[in-house]
Homo-oligomer: A and B are copies of this chain.
């Protein structure tokens, strides 16, 4: 199993990164890069057509988000294992990506050897995590997961976005065609979810968690 050739699909919006990865894997006869995609939508399509063992996937892409692409692949029952390869260990998409079905999660600054090992592991279905990611995961699991009790609803996010622009409650109400009372309700709720007491702190926390910005 370990000595079979592993086929790959590379998904990243940066040509430079795609080149780097392709070059890396080309130098090892144990791998075969079947194709490249620059966005999530294209990735899903190519994954179906080329049927690679492993998909190396960047998360932040203009043309179709990585997380959605992973979810879509899972929904279609694609055989390929998805190995997320991203720049940020602070990425707020870490947990969603894994929930969506990613087999592993590596940072781009991982050394070559680690990458190769990770791809082989992923091909066999084993989970691989960067140490930084792993530690974030365990702490995320330790803390009651933040299980949805802290996920803002779509409406709450809308309100929060307007708050970040300096919009008053009354103006928000007009903007969203709801009453001021409802705006205040949404605010009270999202304060609770974000663990803050006022709008300024809510905006700060939202930026820290990647909800805004």
Contacts and interface: CB of A to CB of B under 8 A. Distances in A.
Interface stretch (A16-24, A46-54, A64-72, A176-184): A16-24
Interface stretch (A106-114, A120-128, A136-144, A148-156): A106-114
A17 B20 contact: yes
A109 B12 CA distance: 10
Interface residues of A, number: 36
Q: Is the interface of A mostly helix, strand, loop or mixed?
A: helix
Interface in A175-213: 196-204, 207-208, 212-213
A117 interface: no
A163 interface: yes
Nearest to A62: B109
A163 to B, nearest CB: 5
6 contacts: A16-B109, A17-B17, A19-B23, A164-B200, A203-B203, A204-B213
